Structure 1
Amino acid sequence: MADIQVQVVYALPEQQESVTLLLPAKSTVKMAILKSGLLEKYPTLDLETLSVGIFSKKVKFDDILKHEDRVEIYRNLLIDPKQARLKRTGRKKT
């Protein structure tokens, strides 16, 4: 089986991390995240609570990767989107 090339990305407000990996075919999302080294670089990332996706579509850790997939590690929301809109407009929820 041929190897596949995938990218694992994690975006912070002030910077973006991107790691390109060469993995065996039939590798999973979890394998790519573990191999990327991002969990070690960012200790606040908890594999048990992470939300992840491939090209903006939420996936599970055991999903099989395809050649040139981009695995995205999502950050938790700091505020509910509805609350953020209300705050920006200066209105209170009634």
Structure 2
Amino acid sequence: MNVGVCYAQADRQIWLRLEVPEGSTIAEAIELSGVLTQYPEIDLESQKVGIFGKLAKLDAPVKEGDRVEIYRKITADPAQVQRRRVA
């Protein structure tokens, strides 16, 4: 199956396309992508993951064409950002 794995930092992003075996999980797709080696700061125990913007668990199966996303922790309070825009 062909899937994508995405991760974004504040200044750059990566989107890797790869083939995974049928029945692979999100965790397996992330591991096979090599993104954990490229970005050692990724901690799947604390960071959330999803498929096409919807949160999912690491053991959820992936389907053909899925885009697996690894989400960063929020570094700015959304309310504070809104107040700065208004000001």
Could you state the TM-score of these two structures normalised by the residue count of structure 2?
Answer: 0.91
Displacement of 1:12 after TM fit?
A: 1.9
Match 1:70 to one of 45, 67, 83: 67
What is the count of residue pairs matched by the alignment?
87
Residue-by-residue CA offset, 1:58-84 (whole Å, 9 max, x unaligned): 111010000010001111111121122
Q: 1:79 is matched with which residue: 76, 81, 84?
A: 76
| Partner Cα separation in structure 2 for residue 78 and residue 89 of structure 1 | 20
Q: Does 1 or 2 have the higher relative contact order (CA < 8 Å, sep 6+)? A: 2
Q: Please report how far the alpha carbon of residue 23 of structure 1 lies from its aligned counterpart in structure 2 after TM superposition.
A: 0.8
In structure 2, stretches of 5+ residues that fail to align are none
SS of the residue corresponding to residue 24 of structure 1 reads: coil
Structure number with the higher strand fraction is 1
Gaps of 5+ in 1: none
Once superposed, what is the RMSD of the aligned Cα atoms?
A: 1.1
Corresponding residue for 2:38? 41
Letter in 1 for 2:28: M
1:14 aligns to what? 11
Q: Which runs of 4+ in 1 moved over 4 A?
A: none
